[in-house]
Structure 1
Amino acid sequence: MQLQIVPARTGWHWIGQGVKTFFRQPLGLAGLFFLFMMLASLVSVLPVIGLPIVLTLMPSCTLGLMAATREVDAGRFPMPVTLFTALRGPREQVRRMLLLGGAYAVAVAAILLVVSLLGGDIAGPLATGDDIQPEDLQAALMQRGSALLLTLLLYTPVSMAFWHAPALVHWNGVSPPKAVFFSLTACWANRWAMLVYVGGWALVLAVVGNLLIGVVAMLGGAQVLQVLLLPLSLLMAAIFHTSIYFTYRDSFSAD
């Protein structure tokens, strides 16, 4: 396994490959993503243990969606069992994936703890039930914005560290600590391509959002927005997850 340095324009290529591949098998890939979201929603409602379980299984589910993309890229239909690819291998490999998921859960929990300690109560005066003064509302909104910015700053290195890690553990046989290190190194080495990739997706979402607003304005009202917003958001999220596989494929090559 060798790290490949790609030009910045590759970020647009990753987006294009994700869109192109998704629409080769839209029902299969969308169905797997919806299955993933449904399972995550069902598990997350469990008291106390729900969210930790979801976070621990997140790298495994990400690998499952990447495996589904690889199946479509190879001309095959992604079966539902593909979502559980990471948990169907040898016992040692499954153990490594769960260790990686545990590390991810701990990292996210640490971020939430830091934000809660430094950002304070995001709801602030909104949760008191008293009459809210304009200055209180403004302060609450500023506090919430600061907390969101802090979360983004803290989560960015965590996202880089775990971006390629599931694929490296499952397909390359790398141990979780090394996978996290190699993932962080690869994202930093290809930071310009990753910035174009993230910025490109932000641009795509902005364009789609504006188109949605235009459609709502023509068809008339908030009811149309409520009908279209959720399925369109899930569709865009499914296409985004389809593109993740190509960021891994082009960042590493067989030795």
Structure 2
Amino acid sequence: MKLNIVSAGTGMAWVKLGVRTFWRQPMALAALFFMTMAAMSLASMVPLVGPAIALMLLPSATLAMMVAAAQASQGSFPTPAVLLVAFRTGQQRLRDMLVLGALYAVGFLAVMGLSALIDGGQFAKVYLGGAQLTKEVAEDPSFQSAMWLSMVLYLPLSLLFWHAPGLVHWHGVPPVKALFFSIVACVRNFGAFLVYGLGWMGVFLLGGLVVALVSAMLSMMGLAGTAAGGIMVGAALMMAAMFFTSVVFTFRDSFEPPSTPSNPSPEVPHEPPAADAPPPSGPN
């Protein structure tokens, strides 16, 4: 496995590829994203251990969206079967994905625990859905400090796990090594990821502006309320799905494909490229 160093402009190409690929199969990719979020929400309802289980599922959910995006980019229709891709590629790969999920849960809960030292756990309760965000809570200096600390600490955690699911699944890299290679790839391609982040920030701001204008028009027509709320939720879902669609392209361009097949699943051929293999590199 070899790390590729890409130009800063590649970050904007990743954004464009994510948007373009999403619109090839918008209903399928949006539905798959919704199902992954629904599955994690249901898992979080399990008494006592629910939130930890939901966090453990996040790397697998990210991998499912990466595989679905790879299929869509190659002209295939992603089916709900991709939601189980992390669990049907052999026992070793399954164990590695479970370990990866456990490591993510521990890391995330550690971030929340450190933030609780500042505000007594108020931010953690709000973030995890255990408390409502009121104006008084939002204006509390300790709550704001805990929020900013969590954001700062979550950045390296996110970089550690950015490429890790793909490295485990497509390259057969052990979980701890996958975390190391992931953050190294992100740091070495800092310029591209900076442009990538700014590009998506622009997409979200533009999308928010469009939703605000549509909501204002509905309000002028006396149709505000439920319709506006539905549009906001639908737009947020669509943009989030679009963002996750682009993740596989950051992985594809950051690492050279394995020289020998590492995926033990018999349903994944390597010649021609498999539907759930990363999309081939090429001009963006």
Q: What TM-score results when the alignment is normalised by the length of structure 1?
A: 0.91
* Aligned mates of 1:155, 1:138 — CA distance in 2: 21
Cα distance in 2 for partners of 1:36, 1:18 equals 18
Contact 1:43–1:51, Cα closer than 8 Å, also in 2? yes
Is 2:118–2:142's contact at 8 Å kept on the other side of the alignment?
A: no
Matched with 1:238 is 241
- Given the alignment of the two structures, is residue 105 of structure 1 paired with residue 105 of structure 2, yes or no? yes
For residues 18 and 170 of structure 2, what CA distance do their matches in structure 1 show?
20
RMSD (Å) for aligned C-alpha atoms = 1.7
In structure 2, give the amino acid aligned to 1:4. Answer: N
8 Å CA contact 1:57, 1:101 repeated in 2: yes
Q: Tell me the residue number matched to 1:132.
A: none
Instruction: After TM superposition, list the pairs within 5 Å mapping 1:113-192 onto structure 2.
Output: 113-122=113-122, 137=136, 140-192=139-191
- Deviation digits for residues 41-87 of structure 1 (CA, Å, limit 9, x no counterpart): 11111121111111111111111110111111121111111121111
Aligned to 2:88: 88
User: Equivalent residue of 2:5, what SS?
Assistant: coil
* 8 Å Cα contact 2:70-2:248 kept in structure 1: yes
* DSSP-derived class of the 2:236 partner: helix
Task: Say how many residue pairs are matched.
Answer: 243
Please, which runs of 5 or more residues in structure 2 have no aligned partner?
A: 124-134, 260-284
* C-alpha displacement of 1:144: 2.6
Gaps of at least 5 residues in structure 1 are: 124-135
Partner of 2:132: none
Question: Equivalent residue for 2:24?
Answer: 24
Per-residue displacement from partner, 1:185-234 (whole Å, max 9, x unpaired)?
A: 00000111111111111111111111111111111044443121111111
C-alpha spacing 1:56/1:219, structure 2 compared with 1 (3 Å): same
What stretches of structure 1 move > 4 A for 4+ residues in a row?
none
The aligned residue for residue 33 of structure 2 is 33
Mapped contact 2:33–2:241 kept (Cα < 8 A): yes
Change (3 A) 1:97 1:144: same
Per the alignment, do residues 121 and 165 of structure 1 end up closer, same or farther by CA in structure 2, a change over 3 Å counting?
A: closer
Between the aligned partners of 2:119 and 2:202, the Cα distance in structure 1 is 29
Q: 2:8: which partner in 1?
A: 8
Distance between the aligned counterparts of 2:139 and 2:216, measured in 1?
31
Query: 1:6 aligns to what SS in structure 2?
Result: coil
Measured in 1, the distance between the counterparts of 2:215 and 2:148 equals: 30
Q: Which residue of 1 aligns with 2:50?
A: 50
The aligned residue for residue 219 of structure 1 is 218
What one-letter code is carried by the residue in structure 1 that aligns with 2:3?
L
Question: Which residue matches 2:231?
Answer: 228
CA distance in 2, matches of 1:61, 1:46: 18
Q: Distance in 2 between matches of 1:147 and 1:177?
A: 28
- Alpha-carbon displacement from aligned partner over 1:118-155 (angstroms, at most 9, x marks no partner): 233537xxxxxxxxxxxx94884433322221111000
Specify the SS of the correspondent of 1:202.
helix
